[in-house]
Structure 1
């Protein structure tokens, strides 16, 4: 490989989703930023498995509000090119689970979620091991929402439980990664 050449036959990929760092949610609404990382292993010329984790714990409005979540994704992928370069278009299936908290002075939402569905994307190698990828996910999501309120004594009281089960857009990614 000459200096400046793109990694032609990668085995691993490590990166991050830039959209999560700036707080863009799957429904394209803005929320708190999230640190995140992913790793991907390539094998058999057309297959890979991506593992992703995201975490956020953010206090704002002078500490009166809080938003936090964790998310974990496993995504096996099939690459359309059959040459072991793992670039261009891919499709996959994914599984996701996580939890969240959204708190202000009057109420608190907390809960867990899980989901599964299909993904599709495109990866473009830029320079050496550097690559840019766009990915979209859609599928089924099951969410358990517990709404708490605070009484006059400051105690937290469960006032509502909502279970949401729906098919929806569950993720966008603009990944930047290093392949080796």
Structure 2
């Protein structure tokens, strides 16, 4: 009987001593934000990041006073291992951690000094934010808060991947799925060339009062077929002066480079003209072709500017004439060959689909 009384007394004493300590312990709350491999952009609605962000903001709001006075820092760990080197992994991890901190600073109205940040070239493609939420509010002096901060920094420096190991295996399992969805995720550098048909208008032709329109069919990102046509008919000085022509110019293009912006092509040109800018007019046919080169400057998702130049050969077979008493009088035939620039354009491209 005496042993039972002694054991019960000892048990009650232990409960009296340990229960207040247990009640003052803190519960770690860790939120994990996923990132696209090799990317530093923080996409809030992606992979459940919006849910984690809402949960973290609620924790911060419930402990905001303690966070702002420096007694409860937010522990931020950035991770990256999808780059080609450790230096690039650490740089990307730093960018990711800063993006998450910026989001919290804006939304939760906290400051940079409320964070303790570490970056790691290991584990996976994510950022963890850990908040040690107190279970029971206890009085903490400034000296104790500073000692706690230093102890936490020392612990993280000695054991840098503790938070990452909790989710490391899960992040590794999801890496393949993340890479498969990368094509559907917004990207900072992705250039779209997946259109099939576009309308074209050579602005240099329009500047000379020669309307010009065309189409281009992109068979694939590297190959395209374009056709441009021009037509105009002007007369003045009681029809004594004349400027009229029409042209059709089909072209095959090969687009080069990662962005498919530079290209080389082959052009054929045919048409008719009627020029009378002096006493003698010239009316006839032209035909030729050559090599083209150019660059397409992307303005937005549907518009681009096409800068191009064509070099080659043109043949013009025409007759000369004069107008006497409103009667056209023929003055002979002539043929001319031209080697050099045969086409130039600053073309506005409108991608239809």
TMscore range, shorter length:
0.7 to 0.9
Match of 2:240 among 64, 80, 87: 64
* Residue 163 of structure 1: aligned partner: 335
2:223–2:255 contact (8 Å) kept in structure 1: yes
1:6–1:127 contact (8 Å) kept in structure 2: no
- Residue deviations 1:108-166 (CA, integer Å, cap 9, x gap): 21010001100000001111210111000010100012101234x54322212110112
* Structure 2 unaligned blocks of 5 or more: 1-183
Instruction: Report the secondary structure of 1:10's partner residue.
Output: coil
2:284–2:317 contact (8 Å) kept in structure 1: yes
> CA RMSD, aligned part only?
2.2
The structure with the largest helix share of the pair is 2
1:42–1:49 contact (8 Å) kept in structure 2: yes
> d(CA) in 2 for partners of 1:154 and 1:135?
41
1:7–1:129 contact (8 Å) kept in structure 2: no
- Residue deviations 1:48-107 (CA, integer Å, cap 9, x gap): 0001100011123454312000000010000113x6x6x410000000000001136843
> d(CA) in 1 for partners of 2:291 and 2:340?
11
Instruction: Report the secondary structure of 2:299's partner residue.
Output: strand
Tell me which structure has the larger Cα radius of gyration: 2
> d(CA) in 2 for partners of 1:149 and 1:66?
12
* Residue 9 of structure 1: aligned partner: 194
Instruction: Report the secondary structure of 2:206's partner residue.
Output: helix
* Residue 316 of structure 2: aligned partner: 143
2:193–2:221 contact (8 Å) kept in structure 1: no
* Residue 117 of structure 1: aligned partner: 290
Q: How does 1:72-87 map to 2 (within 5 A)?
A: 72-81=248-257, 87=260
> d(CA) in 2 for partners of 1:69 and 1:42?
29
1:14–1:40 contact (8 Å) kept in structure 2: yes
> TM-score if structure 2 supplies the norm length?
0.44
> TM-score if structure 1 supplies the norm length?
0.83
The structure with the largest strand share of the pair is 1
> d(CA) in 2 for partners of 1:132 and 1:104?
32
Aligned length: 165
Which one scores higher on RCO, CA 8 angstroms, separation ≥ 6? 1
